[in-house]
Amino acid sequence: MKRFYLFIAILVMMVLSACGTGNEKEEASATKEDAVWSGIEKRGKIIAGTSGTLVGASTYEEGTDKLTGYDVELMREIGKRLGLDVKFEIMGIDSMLPAIQSGRIDVAVNDIEITDKRKKQFAFSNPYKYSYTTMVVRKEDNSGINSLEDLEGKRAGGGATTIFSQIAEHFGAEVVTYGNAPNEAYLRDVHNGNTDVIVNDYYLSKFGVAAFPEFDITLHPDLKFHPTEQAVVMDKEATVLQTKINDALQEMREDGTLSELAIKFYQEDASKKPEGEIEEIEGLDL
């Protein structure tokens, strides 16, 4: 009889231990998911990485040190709705995603495209911008580019890790990288022939060209390709933060704030999908 009771006691302990292990795993998972949000709440601010070099998206007002742009003001509005300040860390696009992984920043807002490959490593908000890709070329001859295939052998200015540089390389262009350089450096090089083309977002390209009328550059008149969606990027485990940002973005979309900001900075409603036919590119590993 004593052996029977001892067996029952051991069995109960094993069941309780198993339950405890399951609960501990659930608690550990929840703690990891809440950690980013808990840290943000504790300090009372979101630390956001951005470049300060993208006209329309993240730039400084001329002659001042005031950072502004669609992505910047959108992030400030998200912070306001979450009852938090937003501190911006200025860095190159190639440094932003590693800075999320290291914990240096909480989010990145810099016209960053959602891709399948990036979604394996990071969490994204719902899209706040819809666009497509085009090219900045020389006015006189479109830099000898009449199709995507004509990129072969051309010199394309761009960031080392951007989707746009991957597209240029996919079609045989040599990518010339600049680090966190201002738009002027990229555009001037196309103008003076140091490079031939910039493959980039339609809205950013449009405003870049308009900002330097003295340059012999233009948007390519015919090529519209690779439709894109841009979003706030954060740590893969930051699901609480992701939910709260998505809730704020949904409020902004419903009350018209998102459209107002997009029109203010892009003169078009970039918060909605563009109309017209946009060519999809096959074979890109994005």
**What single string gives the DSSP state of each residue in the chain?**
-HHHHHHHHHHHHHHHHHHHHHHHHHHHHHHHHHHHHHHHHHHTEEEEEE-S-BTTTBEEPTTS--EESHHHHHHHHHHHHTT-EEEEEE--HHHHHHHHHHTS-SEE-SSPBP-HHHHTTEEE-S-SEEEEEEEEEETTTGGG-SSGGGGTT-EEE--TT-HHHHHHHHTTPEEEP-SS--HHHHHHHHHHTS-SBEEEEHHHHHHHHHH-TTSSEEE-SS--EEEEEE--EEETT-HHHHHHHHHHHHHHHHTTHHHHHHHHHHSS-TTSPPPS--B--TT---
Look up residue 242 and give its two tokens: 């992701």
Residue 26 has pLDDT above 80, yes or no: no
Confirm whether 40-128+231-266 and 130-227 share one CATH topology.
yes
Residues 103-124: what's their mean pLDDT? 95
Amino acid code (one letter) for 125: S
Q: What is the pLDDT of residue 17?
A: 47
Lowest mean pLDDT among 51-55, 67-71, 245-249: 51-55
Provide the pLDDT for residue 180.
74
Check residue 32 and give its pLDDT: 56
200 against 31, higher pLDDT: 200
User: What pLDDT shows up at residue 88?
Assistant: 98
Give the residue-averaged pLDDT of 23-47: 73
CA angle 195, 67, 125 (to 5 degrees): 85
pLDDT of residue 191: 97
Residue 128 · residue 148 · CB < 8 Å:
no
- pLDDT of 58: 95
Confidence tier at 35 by pLDDT (50, 70, 90): confident
Q: Residue 7: what pLDDT?
A: 45
Q: What is the mean pLDDT of residues 11-36?
A: 52
Mean of the pLDDT values across residues 188-209? 94
Half-sphere exposure of 246 (CA within 13 A, CB side): 12
Task: Check residues 213 and 160 and name the one with the higher pLDDT.
Answer: 213
Residue range 147-165: average pLDDT?
92
Q: Quick one: 40-128+231-266 is in which CATH superfamily?
A: Periplasmic binding protein-like II (3.40.190.10)
How do the domains of the chain map onto residue ranges?
Answer: 40-128+231-266, 130-227
* pLDDT mean over 136-155: 97
Q: What is the pLDDT of residue 15?
A: 44
Q: 130-227 has which fold?
A: D-Maltodextrin-Binding Protein; domain 2 (3.40.190)
